[in-house]
């Protein structure tokens, strides 16, 4: 299979490097200094599991990609609005698109959603641009459990995790999921295929909607938030609201809120992806992770006062920082 990593940043670059090291046909699309460094020197991965260098094919323009079988979307959720229309010419009948974004994915209510089909969430897909560019039937869902970061252009540090869950959005079993999983496993990643990818999305959301914006506001790690006597109840209340939204959709979560909080504490002094983005001066995935669930709660008449309060404060923080950067 021919793979294209569309957005070879920390996550996409790491996946691409692993695949290239395993001798697979993978092309990485990147931009800026990271692109130039990879073109000149290849891609270096620093990891407790062993440092290595890989030299996958690197492109600066999607027009150079050629015919590919699998496109892995490696950009953040808010980057899809720009990327998706540019991918449209590459998506042929045989092409599978793997979504890796945090939060509620744009395809969620366009395939496999049953009675809730057709709900459009503006905070997930402004103007419906992504859905118009990527046919939902060609999407395979994934949830990424990797800790990676770009140390300098062309160098990625892998800190934790090597699992990527795959699943069909409608919960069916498919040969394309098995084939993609096989390629990722051969590259050294754990890649279970699940028929309950929607449940897994909500398990991740349960923690992310609560901990990510609180971490951005407080600069606290997961363990610090889980142990704090006043912050932990706030996170618990947000989780209860998220759980109520999931229940309205017919999703019964396989773990309890207590288990989710205990899991966060066990991870330890880890900074959420939202806090990492904030500290690096990058836009946060606030809308796809928190805003989308708040919007959905409103559509489903689920009160979410705690979620909305923290969301509003995080939005103001992002606006304030964006204004400072502009000046």
Active site residues: 204
* In the block, residue with structure tokens 């959005």: 169
Q: Which two tokens stand for residue 61?
A: 């323009």
Residue 260 to residues 62, 115, 143, 267, Cα–Cα distance (Å) = 40, 28, 17, 11
Residues in the chain: 327
Q: Are 224 and 265 in contact (CB under 8 A)?
A: no
Q: Which two tokens stand for residue 271?
A: 């900074």
Helix axes 197-218, 231-248, angle to 10 degrees: 150
Residue 107 to residues 31, 35, 68, 135, 166, Cα–Cα distance (Å) = 26, 29, 21, 9, 15
Q: Which two tokens stand for residue 99?
A: 């979504």
Helix H or strand E segment including 140? strand 139-152
Nearest-angstrom CA–CA distance, 116 and 108: 10
Nearest to 167 by CA among 129, 202, 208, 134: 202
Nearest-angstrom CA–CA distance, 91 and 160: 32
Q: Are 161 and 145 in contact (CB under 8 A)?
A: yes
Strand-pair partners of 247: none
- List CB contacts of 175: < 8 A, sequence separation 6 or more: none
- List CB contacts of 202: < 8 A, sequence separation 6 or more: 242, 246, 251, 253
């Amino acid at each position: 299979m021919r793979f294209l990593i569309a957005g070879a940043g920390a996550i996409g670059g790491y996946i691409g490097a692993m695949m290239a090291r395993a001798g697979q046909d993978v092309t990485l699309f990147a931009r800026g200094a990271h692109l130039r460094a990879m073109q000149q020197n290849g891609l270096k991965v620093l990891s407790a599991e062993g440092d290595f260098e890989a030299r996958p094919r690197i492109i600066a323009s999607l027009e150079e990609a050629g015919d590919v079988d699998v496109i892995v979307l490696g950009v953040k959720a808010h980057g899809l609005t720009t990327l998706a229309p540019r991918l449209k010419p590459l998506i042929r009948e045989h092409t599978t698109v793997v979504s890796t974004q945090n939060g509620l994915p744009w395809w969620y209510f366009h395939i496999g959603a049953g009675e809730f089909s057709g709900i459009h969430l503006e905070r997930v897909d402004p103007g419906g641009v992504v859905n118009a560019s990527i046919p939902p039937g060609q999407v395979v869902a994934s949830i990424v459990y990797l800790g990676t970061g770009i140390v300098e252009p062309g160098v990625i540090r892998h800190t934790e995790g090597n699992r990527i869950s795959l699943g069909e959005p409608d919960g069916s079993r498919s040969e394309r999921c098995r084939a993609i999983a096989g390629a990722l496993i051969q590259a050294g990643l754990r890649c279970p295929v699940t028929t309950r990818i929607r449940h897994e999305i909500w398990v991740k959301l349960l923690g992310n909607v609560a901990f990510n914006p609180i971490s951005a506001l407080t600069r606290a790690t997961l363990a610090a938030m889980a142990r704090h006597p006043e912050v932990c109840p706030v996170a618990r209340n947000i989780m209860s609201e998220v759980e109520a939204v999931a229940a309205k959709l017919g999703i019964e979560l396989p773990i309890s809120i207590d288990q989710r909080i205990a899991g966060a504490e066990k991870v330890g002094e880890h900074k959420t992806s939202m806090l990492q983005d904030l500290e690096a001066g990058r836009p946060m995935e606030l809308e796809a992770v928190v805003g989308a669930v708040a919007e959905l709660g409103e559509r489903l008449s689920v009160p979410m006062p705690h979620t909305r309060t923290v969301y509003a404060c995080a939005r103001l923080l992002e606006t304030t920082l964006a204004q400072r950067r502009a000046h």
